[in-house]
Structure 1
Amino acid sequence: MRLLSGPVGRSIALLAGLSVLLGVVVAGMAFPVVGGLGILSNEAGDSVTSSSADLVNNPAPLTTTVTDSDGRPLAYLFDQNRTEVANDQISPTMKAAILAIEDRRFYDHQGVDWQGTLRAVVANSTSGDVVQGASTLTQQYVKNYMLYVDAQTEAERLKATEQTPARKLKEARIALQLERQLSKDEILNRYLNIVFLGNGSYGIAAGARTYFNTTPDKLTVPQAALLAGMVRSTTQFDPVQNPETATQRRNLVIEQMRQQGMIDDAQARQATAAPLGIADPLVRIPNGCNGAGDTGFFCKYVVQYLTEAGFSEEQINRGGYTIRTTLDRRAMQEVKRALDAEVPPRTPNVANVMSLVQPGQDAHRVLAMGSSRTFGLDADAEETSFGLPYQPVNLGAGSTYKIFTAATALEKGLGINYSMQVPPSGYASPIYVDGSGRPIPVANASEGLPPRMSMTDALAQSPNTAFIKLEEFTGVPDIVDMAVRLGLKSLATTPFVDPGSGERTDRSIAEVIKEQELASFTLGVTPTSVLELANVGATLFSEGRWCPPTPIDSITDANGEIVPITEEPCQQAVDPGLANTLVTGMSQDDISGTSAAAARAAGWSRPMAGKTGTTQQNKSAAFVGAIPEMSGAVITFDNSNSPRPLCDGGNGPFACGEGNIFGGKTPARTWYGAVTPLVAGTPPTPLPATDPRYLDGGAESRIPDVVGRSAADARGELEGAGWQVTTRTVDNRATEGTVVGQEPRGAALPGEPVTLQVSSGTVPAPPPPPGSPPAVGPPAGPPPPEEGADGGDGDGG
């Protein structure tokens, strides 16, 4: 069959369209008389009632705004860019314009304008085109609601706009019900809030901002007329793509306003002569965290946090919430500045990441997080949208994990003053073995260390052998549990990846490490979240109280009502005295420890707790530092698919053959660089008071002090207390057989032998006379640690 064209074809098409309209008119006019009986089934009637109830009770999708702690926007999250405004926030001019062109009898009909429908039928039939619409604003509101709120798929959207008598009749019935439930002003307000105005703007608030960078209450006559005219076709009357057509349509609306007495002749002439005045470029708000700039990682963490708290993605993107976050804008700026200063954003394959958390008894607020790599989707520009500052970093955090070994030792009865054994490099521990059970020699980054040092000094200088030796006492499983308690929660939730097959198992990392008793755990070889590591410091500075690192201060809905959020409750991870004492035990890192050089370069001069870390082959390095006001962690690592060792060069770290990066270099410099300006000009806060119980240890670890007694009496007392005793003779003026020294003194590990130095009773040889060549012998004391070095370069098991 050949399709007709020209006037005849158009007439037939027009008659078909008019048949639809006339069918609706006839059915609709019968509806008030018969009450709908016989027109629609009971099921259809129930559907109408349900739909009208939805229109009354369910809001349209709204834009969610994410703000910083001061309420300044960081990002916008939406399916439809819509901000709801109240009736009194829309100018009378805008209401007049939409009524003039879309529904001049709005305040006269009851939802369906039968008179207007017949008039439209006649007008359209006479002109040969659809020059007048038959739908009221109420009916249009119903259609827009079905299209923009109810419809979720393309099929549903097509169904919401299909030109059939059944749909039009249902639309009319819902409109009639709606008019009995809502006032005219409320319907008009809802219509203006839901209507699509093109270029991604839904509702009058978004439209006013997009096209004129203004608010709905300030819209002028020509501006309002343009927006009202676009309702019929946002494509045909787009002022950017079709300015001439848009101007003609705008002027038609102005003329309708004049004819209906809404404006006078002078106002009409002035409005018609006005330029379109469209913003150039249009004022668009970016959708999602990609528009959040340097706060993109923080924004993404907010979304993840809310999702884990029970919010759906649909809720977040359609709920119109105001999410006031904990982000401190100045802290964020300093963190980003410090990160980029150490690792320029486009550095290939290297990421420098940092998170900053505020301690507290009731909440640990995330102040800032960032990365040297720019947040985004352009991989060629070294951008990434992976959650680097909060997702576990696969290369680990090195010797920062010695914090957990020390905490476990304190909990098991040792004190922070305990004199730890420091075996030399090459130490073969019975628990640090390969898959065949053969011991793996443990190396230290620095040589010439004394055979014993206090736990405080060991935390600062970080000898691997000392902490592997300490791990023999504490056991691996308890250290893993301590790490999870203090804040590394992801160890207990992240599936273990089989190193052979690369497949994820159904067990967590923590479960596997404990089951296999992997002694490399104290050297920090497991995946580590920078945010969780920062929160460990916050836990210690909160007297051992762990709280989830929250990015949320408050959430309010579109009506300003507080929306509750379910967060994990805070827990007392360790005894307050243990936490306070451990903080003091970590207080030498910036003075005599592995971050001392970075601290001096930054002009750091206040009390703090710190620990560096470096992983196998220097592929990553870390630093965790904390003061009472804030705790931060930094990890610098090769984030490529095939990580290589990193060298710390003049222009930042880079992949190299043999790495030389340490936690005391780039990571520590980043931490001091970010935190120093944040606390400048404020008085230092002292570290918390120590607890005697955790200074010298419990009774079970204390050794009787037998110096000055006879060797026989000393041996008898020590062996009577359960200690193994060995002796060695030393030259000394004391009476022969007198104990002149003991190692360890004060406290020892259970089962650790106590060595007594017993006097020979002879006087040592006198020193050589002046002018004699100096005697050759060992140095008087341990050398200072290598700049930035720490003991985290073990084999990793």
Structure 2
Amino acid sequence: MAGVLLAALLFPVVGGLGLASNRAADTVDQTSAELTEAELPLVSTVLDMNGQPIAYLYDQYRIPVPSEGIADTMKAAIIAIEDKRFFDHAGVDWQGIARAAAKAGVDGETSQGASTLTQQYVKNYLAFVVGKGSEEAYEKATEATIGRKISEARIATQLEQKMTKDEILTAYLNVVPFGNGTYGVGAAARTYFDTTPDKLTVPQAAMLAGLVNEPSRLNPGADPDPAIKRRNTVIDKMLENGAFGSDEKVAKEKADEAKAADIGVVPNLRLLPNGCVGAGDGPVYGFFCRYLVDYLDRSGLPVDEILRGGYTIHSTMDPVATRAAKEAAESQVPKTQPGVANAMAVVQPGADKHRVRALAANRDFGNNAEAGQSAYSIPAEVTKFGAGSIYKVFTAAAALERGVTGIDRQIDVPETYTSRVYKDGNKGYTVKNSGKYPEKMSLTQALAQSPNTGFIILEEKAGLNNVVDMAHRLGLRESMQGVNNAGDPLKADGSNGPSQGDVYKRDNSGSFTLGAGPTSILELSNVAATIMSGGKWCPPTPVEQVTDRNGKPVQLKEAACDQAVAPEVANALANGMSADTKPGGTAAAAAAGWDRPMIGKTGTTENHWSVAFMGATPQYAGAVMTFTDGVAPQVICSGSPPRLCGTNDAGGVFGGQVAAPTWFNAMRVIHDGKPVEQLPPVDPRYR
């Protein structure tokens, strides 16, 4: 074996191998170059708007440390147990190979004594850095073939010419796995002993050095006895290697003292939470975290890169707003209430950015449905249910833009109306109001009281296509173009299309203004933010900035803001929506003690499968949807708490009863201490 290795090292191109050997040599050269400047997989950290960590995202928990940050005890322990001739060889230990070969001839074992720390660094780098820790990569990096050993030995000898011994030792200690998902001595010291590598004692260092042999079997958190036995073996090897000094008696006493020490592992281990399920304050921040990861993935920072890149992600999440939204949602619908979800999104208006401040629900973010958890980002994804009469806002906006009406102009509100423009089969499309209304009322009054007939008439005059396009322009972009009419994401090949918006246009469905189609709560919130931003739409972004492991900003591919409607139209619409908190509108505002100027609109779907509320002040916009999230959709009936009640819609809940109270209770807390701001003035042309 030694002869074959020596020949391969000295003569990489041997007879008969030709070009193939040259290519193999090139690969070896490239790998050894990479190893000298290896970028290790690191943990990415998500921060809230105040700079506090809320989540950690990683494939490998690793805290890189420089040589001076690693105690001599750790270096001595790993050398003693893994490669006692580390400072004497040049990457390959020929004596060790000969010793292993001789031992193989005696008892058939071939793995002991032949692999240096330099070679182990090569092996671990290929398995856990290049191969990302996959089972296939590990098997390839450790396969018992002479070809792999030759390649590994050649890389090791090249490394010894490019790196100092201390650099190699430090690199090895930063790569190698220590079990329980930890990689490198920095993470291992924190996980097992809640300390840093420069403070490791002899017993601690010896235990960690012993783990690298079989980290899965020698798990001190599960069974300390095998770990202690292995630790003491390491201490004995340290004694043999002179780690405790030249005085034999003193050295023996130090070794015995170290072997007598308790294992010292911290209870439950200090494992770093990983992923969105354990984000921040338990399950409260998980919905935001999930949306953030998906958003970054769409914006040019793939999930795989996030899990390995060591990024610092400065998010827009406001912990106060998030907790307020969570508590408000859960106070209306307990998390364990079967089949009824209550979710809220909060977005901050702005002319250059719409920052997502909160995504919360009565559900917790997690995988245990029986405990009231959901692994879907309920407030951010397009639900399969509608927002009801909130869609009348889009009809009003289109009518204002096209000069059909003004916010103070009277519109017709017949008790029943049959459209000649929209069809129901071969008949005209007939709608009726759910309550008693005056025959005429202003657009502002109509937005507050929501008569169906008045908005069908306005939709005819403004044009259905214009109304659907207005919904998209103001913010329902994914809801209108990214899903089909069943709420399923459109496939790239369009095989399950057309989009929801295109279906309404194709079928000339006047029912669009009644809001029965799939809707995103976050997008509803962003609609309100667009209105309060003078008609400027911006993507609802959860990220302020991303920096890489070196602190350099990462450029994301986010959608640019655009002027969805003229500022005069947006301002008129805002004032037209300002009566929902006044007599005739929702009573939830009075119950919450609300006294700020705002815009608002309630919504209830005809079948009472979902209800919603959308509203905003100049400072914050938000939307709430309460919908049936069970296996089969059912009517949500009012009560304390709301409950599923089959298919009979008698007693069905309304948006002003659940969704609106959630909004006002959360926003009251979010606005606490903020100055009162007025709505923008209205251009007389839109009166």
Task: State TM-score, norm by structure 2.
Answer: 0.91
- Equivalent residue for 1:321, pick from 302, 311, 321: 311
- Equivalent residue for 1:662, pick from 625, 640, 654: 654
Report the equivalent of 1:633: 623
Q: Which residues in structure 2 correspond to 1:154-233 (within 5 Å)? A: 154-233=135-214
Q: Is the 8 A contact 2:475 2:527 kept in 1?
A: yes
CA distance in 2, matches of 1:495, 1:253: 60
Secondary structure at the aligned position of 1:224 is classed as: helix
Report the equivalent of 1:444: 433
- Letter of the 1:369 partner, please give it: L
Change beyond 3 A, Cα 1:255–1:466: same
CA distance in 2, matches of 1:623, 1:236: 55
- Equivalent residue for 2:674, pick from 670, 679, 682: 682
Report the equivalent of 1:372: 362
CA distance in 2, matches of 1:235, 1:406: 64
1:104 aligned onto 2:84: yes
- Letter of the 2:428 partner, please give it: P
Report the equivalent of 1:149: 129
- CA deviations on 1:240-262 (whole Å, 9 max, x unpaired) are 44423321221232233344343
- CA deviations on 1:630-661 (whole Å, 9 max, x unpaired) are 11000001122432221120223433532431
Secondary structure at the aligned position of 2:285 is classed as: helix
1:61 aligned onto 2:51: no
Secondary structure at the aligned position of 2:92 is classed as: coil
1:486 aligned onto 2:463: no
1:290 aligned onto 2:277: yes
1:334 aligned onto 2:314: no
Q: Is the 8 A contact 1:409 1:474 kept in 2?
A: yes
Change beyond 3 A, Cα 1:185–1:689: farther
Report the equivalent of 2:585: 594
Residue 36 of structure 1: how far off its partner (Å): 6.0
1:579 aligned onto 2:566: no
Q: Which moved more, 1:340-349 or 1:46-55?
A: 46-55
CA distance in 2, matches of 1:74, 1:359: 24
Q: Is the 8 A contact 1:29 1:114 kept in 2?
A: no
- CA deviations on 1:269-313 (whole Å, 9 max, x unpaired) are 432221001122122234322222122221111121122123333
Q: Which residues in structure 2 correspond to 1:343-742 (within 5 Å)? A: 343-414=333-404, 416-436=406-426, 438-447=427-436, 449-497=437-485, 505-595=496-586, 597-656=587-646, 657=648, 658-695=650-687
Residue 124 of structure 1: how far off its partner (Å): 7.5
- CA deviations on 1:64-95 (whole Å, 9 max, x unpaired) are 22232233333333333333333333333322
Q: Is the 8 A contact 1:65 1:322 kept in 2?
A: yes
Q: Is the 8 A contact 1:492 1:509 kept in 2?
A: yes
Secondary structure at the aligned position of 1:51 is classed as: helix
Q: Is the 8 A contact 1:395 1:525 kept in 2?
A: yes
- Equivalent residue for 1:279, pick from 247, 266, 269: 266
Residue 530 of structure 1: how far off its partner (Å): 0.2
Report the equivalent of 2:6: 29
Secondary structure at the aligned position of 2:416 is classed as: coil
RMSD: 2.5
Secondary structure at the aligned position of 1:427 is classed as: strand
CA distance in 1, matches of 2:73, 2:36: 26
Secondary structure at the aligned position of 2:626 is classed as: strand
- CA deviations on 1:402-452 (whole Å, 9 max, x unpaired) are 11111111111245434232333222222343122x1343222321x2222
User: Which consecutive residues of structure 1, in runs of 5 or more, have no partner in the other structure?
Assistant: 1-22, 696-797
CA distance in 2, matches of 1:83, 1:321: 13
- Letter of the 2:608 partner, please give it: N
User: Which consecutive residues of structure 2, in runs of 5 or more, have no partner in the other structure?
Assistant: 246-250
- CA deviations on 1:139-176 (whole Å, 9 max, x unpaired) are 00111122223336544432221222221111000111
CA distance in 2, matches of 1:267, 1:561: 47
Q: Is the 8 A contact 1:344 1:652 kept in 2?
A: no
Q: Is the 8 A contact 1:66 1:73 kept in 2?
A: yes
- CA deviations on 1:554-582 (whole Å, 9 max, x unpaired) are 22222332222110011111111221221
Q: Is the 8 A contact 2:315 2:542 kept in 1?
A: yes
Q: Which moved more, 1:119-128 or 1:488-497?
A: 119-128
Residue 388 of structure 1: how far off its partner (Å): 1.4
Report the equivalent of 2:257: 270
Q: Which moved more, 1:271-280 or 1:378-387?
A: 378-387
Q: Is the 8 A contact 1:544 1:578 kept in 2?
A: yes
Give percent identity, aligned residues only. Answer: 48
Residue 26 of structure 1: how far off its partner (Å): 1.8
- Letter of the 1:525 partner, please give it: A
Q: Is the 8 A contact 2:81 2:237 kept in 1?
A: yes
- Letter of the 1:83 partner, please give it: I
Change beyond 3 A, Cα 1:100–1:371: same
- CA deviations on 1:191-218 (whole Å, 9 max, x unpaired) are 1121111122222222222222233233
CA distance in 2, matches of 1:685, 1:497: 39
Change beyond 3 A, Cα 1:271–1:468: same
CA distance in 1, matches of 2:95, 2:443: 91
- CA deviations on 1:658-687 (whole Å, 9 max, x unpaired) are 243111110000000111012123321122
Q: Is the 8 A contact 1:497 1:504 kept in 2?
A: no
CA distance in 1, matches of 2:332, 2:77: 58
Q: Is the 8 A contact 1:416 1:582 kept in 2?
A: no
Q: Is the 8 A contact 2:56 2:272 kept in 1?
A: yes
Residue 526 of structure 1: how far off its partner (Å): 1.3
Q: Which residues in structure 2 correspond to 1:55-134 (within 5 Å)? A: 55-119=35-99, 121=101, 132-134=112-114
Change beyond 3 A, Cα 1:372–1:86: same
Q: Is the 8 A contact 2:634 2:644 kept in 1?
A: no
Change beyond 3 A, Cα 1:382–1:107: same
CA distance in 1, matches of 2:457, 2:481: 29
Q: Which moved more, 1:119-128 or 1:156-165?
A: 119-128
Residue 589 of structure 1: how far off its partner (Å): 1.0
Q: Is the 8 A contact 1:460 1:592 kept in 2?
A: no
- Letter of the 2:371 partner, please give it: A
1:244 aligned onto 2:236: no
Q: Is the 8 A contact 1:495 1:504 kept in 2?
A: no
Q: Is the 8 A contact 2:13 2:22 kept in 1?
A: no
Residue 32 of structure 1: how far off its partner (Å): 5.6
Change beyond 3 A, Cα 1:230–1:641: closer
Residue 123 of structure 1: how far off its partner (Å): 7.0
CA distance in 2, matches of 1:114, 1:689: 86
- CA deviations on 1:203-239 (whole Å, 9 max, x unpaired) are 2222222222233233222111100111122244332
Change beyond 3 A, Cα 1:362–1:238: same
Secondary structure at the aligned position of 2:177 is classed as: coil
CA distance in 1, matches of 2:584, 2:173: 65
Change beyond 3 A, Cα 1:56–1:415: farther
- Letter of the 2:431 partner, please give it: V
CA distance in 1, matches of 2:565, 2:529: 13
